[in-house]
């Protein structure tokens, strides 16, 4: 990682999480929930929707059932980092929404990564 002015680390371009790849609006989430293929695991639920020409998008939902604010924010950081690290391996033109279940609260980063990797493989979103 390189340093930019002000001492902030600069994230490499291929491993960033740009705003155009984020699911941000409620109507986008509802559309995905209604039309996507759902894959369920013990800690996460993965919704995968293939839409030609719209690029790759990622969203997440972590409810209060998962835990307090500290726990929810940790799970969200894990989800963002896992997506950021693996986004180049994902197929194009897919929208993915991850919902955390209460079991996600007790997982560490590598356990989350393994669980999400399994859901990605079952949802057939990995390009390899």
pLDDT tens across the length of the chain (128 residues): 444 444 444 445 556 677 888 998 999 999 999 999 999 999 999 999 998 878 889 999 999 999 999 999 999 999 999 998 888 888 888 999 999 999 999 999 999 999 999 999 998 888 76
pTM for the full predicted model: 0.83
Query: Phi, psi (5° rounding) for residue 81?
Result: -65, -40
> Domain count of the chain?
1
Residue 26, domain member (yes or no): yes
In a domain, 15, yes or no: no
Q: Report yes or no: 57 and 48 within 8 Å, Cβ to Cβ.
A: no
At 127 the pLDDT is 76
Residue 8 falls inside a structural domain: no
Q: What is the span of the domain harbouring residue 57?
A: 22-122
Residues with Cβ < 8 Å from 31, sequence gap 6 or more? 49
Question: What is the domain-level CATH number for residue 43?
Answer: 3.30.230.10
Cα 31 to Cα 91: distance, rounded to the nearest angstrom: 20
Is residue 113, in this structure, part of any structural domain at all? yes
């Amino acid at each position: 990682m390189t340093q930019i002015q002000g001492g902030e680390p600069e994230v490499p371009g291929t491993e960033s999480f740009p705003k155009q790849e984020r699911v941000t609006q409620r109507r986008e989430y509802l559309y995905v929930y209604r039309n996507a293929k759902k894959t369920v695991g013990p800690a996460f639920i993965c919704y995968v929707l293939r839409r030609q020409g719209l690029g790759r998008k990622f969203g997440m939902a972590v409810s209060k059932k998962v835990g307090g604010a500290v726990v929810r924010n940790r799970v969200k950081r894990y989800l963002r980092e896992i997506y950021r690290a693996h986004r180049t391996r994902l197929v194009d033109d897919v929208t993915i929404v991850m919902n955390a279940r209460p079991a996600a609260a007790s997982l560490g980063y590598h356990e989350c990564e393994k669980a999400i990797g399994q859901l990605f493989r079952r949802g057939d979103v990995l390009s390899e």
